[in-house]
Amino acid sequence: MLGASSVLAGLLALCSALPGEPRIESASFQTWFDAALNGELRLPPSIEQRAERFRYVFVGGFANERMPGYFSQCAQELRTHGVAKSAIHFIFPSSHRSFDENCDGVKEAFLEIASHGPEPLVVIAHSRGAGDSLAFALQNADFARDHVYALFLVQGAFGGTGAADYVLGEGPPMDRQMPMRLRVMTQLLGRAERYVLSRGKHDGLAGLTRDESAEFWEQIRHKYASAIEIVGPKTFYITSQVPPKQLRFFKKAVATYLDTYYGPNDGVVALEDQSLPGLGTTLVMLDAAHTALTHRFPATHSPRRLRQALVESLLMAVGQADPAAEQEVAQSPRSADPADTVGGADPKRPRRDGNSGPVKEARRRRGRFPAD
């Protein structure tokens, strides 16, 4: 009887500690990310302790089948800060199916993950996976209300991508606004992808055209309008853009095509297509290529510290909802500002590289640190 009472008391304590709605300010998130990128962010112990009370779900994007190590460094960074391996999960929706066709598989995966325990879910979804995750949340509002703490949607293709338009013959034709060699490279990429499509693969690409994406989200927002008040406060967009000149080879060609005919982009998705107006909050616009925040070499040439900075900023974001953490930050001798965790590097945690601070920034401006 005593044992049962102890178990019940433990469960009640856990339930009473479950968080409410996330409270994350864009300015604070930008401050954390910048500091982490320079090796100057210190996570208070209470925030790291709170991080252990969540389950983390990474959701991959289009073509994840041919990208080994997708999210691997992000997951390792979580473990560095005390998150158990058993609390980190992955969902990789098929690139060969549409949003609708992936719907059941994504739902089953989320239900299975939630069955592991009562911990709230922090979803970190990338590219088309961001769309899969948001669609799931809207279609399953009760689940989102009861189990999802936050959706961090990284470089999502909510407005589709002009790259899909080009491959499927719906995008603007290339002209002399683009250099000849980049036009040739883009044509070669288009032919290669059309060949893949002809073999019955990558059928999900059709749903990533701008017209198809606009129609999909218009329909789902109308059909599940009542879910927006539940899902919206939990939804946070992390967007990015990068100058094409910072990219290499074929990635530079695609980014140049998008920049010429669609505007600023991250090399795959136009900046304006990385969020849905009126649903959720845009946290930050970063200077990063499409794979820089989620992939490892060879899928990206961007430094690992970008992935580390993203994860540390996310941990700060979910940790700030903890009253104990907020009190610790407020009582810090350095400052009462939310940025008081920013300062000199933690003496117990050495800098990750020798290219931090003003030197790093100067080199990046000179192109010494290509985005990808």
Phi, then psi, of 312 in degrees rounded to 5: -65, -35
- 């117990």: which residue's tokens? 348
Residue 16 in domain: no
Residue 211 in domain: yes
What span, in angstroms and rounded, lies between the C-alpha atoms of 24 and 319? Answer: 10
Residue 308 in domain: yes
Nearest CA-CA partner of 341 in 360, 318, 321, 313 = 313
Number of domains in the chain: 1
Q: Is the sign of the CA dihedral 269, 273, 279, 283 positive or negative?
A: positive
The pLDDT value given to residue 64: 87
DSSP for 78-124, written as a single string = HHHTT--GGGEEEE---TTS-HHHHHHHHHHHHHHHHTT-SPPEEEE
Residue 10 in domain: no
The pLDDT value given to residue 16: 37
Residue 4 in domain: no
The pLDDT value given to residue 201: 86
The answer to whether 268 and 254 are in contact (CB under 8 A) is yes
The pLDDT value given to residue 321: 54
What span, in angstroms and rounded, lies between the C-alpha atoms of 3 and 72? Answer: 39
- The SS3 assignment for 172 reads coil
What span, in angstroms and rounded, lies between the C-alpha atoms of 337 and 273? Answer: 33
Q: What is the pLDDT of residues 47-66, one digit of tens each?
A: 999 989 999 999 999 988 87
The pLDDT value given to residue 342: 62
Report the run of H or E that residue 283 belongs to, with start and end. Answer: strand 281-287
Query: What is the separation, in whole angstroms, between the first and last Cα of the chain?
Result: 60
Pairing status of strand 55-59 against strand 121-126: parallel
pLDDT < 50: residue spans in the chain:
1-18, 322-339, 344-370
Residue 14 in domain: no
The pLDDT value given to residue 363: 38
Residues 6+ away with beta carbon under 8 Å from 224 = 138, 139, 141
Residue 1 in domain: no
The pLDDT value given to residue 343: 57
CATH of the domain at 106: 3.40.50.1820
Q: What is the pLDDT of residues 21-42, one digit of tens each?
A: 788 999 999 999 999 999 999 9
The pLDDT value given to residue 249: 87
Range of the domain at 223: 21-365
The pLDDT value given to residue 19: 60
Report the run of H or E that residue 328 belongs to, with start and end. Answer: helix 323-330
Residue 161 in domain: yes
Nearest CA-CA partner of 155 in 277, 237, 243 = 237
